[in-house]
A = this chain, B = another copy of it.
Amino acid sequence: MKYNVTITIALKEGMLNPEARAIQHALANLGFPTESLSTARLFKITLDATDAAAARETAGQMCERLLANPVIHNYTIEVE
């Protein structure tokens, strides 16, 4: 069966995110002050799996093996 999996990958709490700081600074310069700003990457994947649990397991392996760096990233997986 086909499942739509949404993977969100973000830096772990406490990791420096210079890109986010640069964007926050640029927004402030444009007149949009923000209290905090964080960035993340989103992957929407359609895959074949026997059930939702298997789809989630496969997505987790994708994160561990390729999409995320488990040392610096957290990831969340949603299966529909």
Contacts and interface: CB of A to CB of B under 8 A. Distances in A.
A2 interface: yes
B2 A62 contact: no
Contacts of A67: 23
Interface in A7-28: 8, 10, 23, 26-27
Nearest to A29: B66
Interface centre among A2, A36, A48 (most CB of B within 10 A): A36
Interface of A: 2, 8, 10, 23, 26-27, 30, 32-48, 58, 61-62, 65-67
For the complex of A and B, 8 pairs with smallest distance between CB atoms: A40-B42, A35-B46, A36-B46, A38-B44, A34-B47, A37-B45, A34-B45, A42-B42
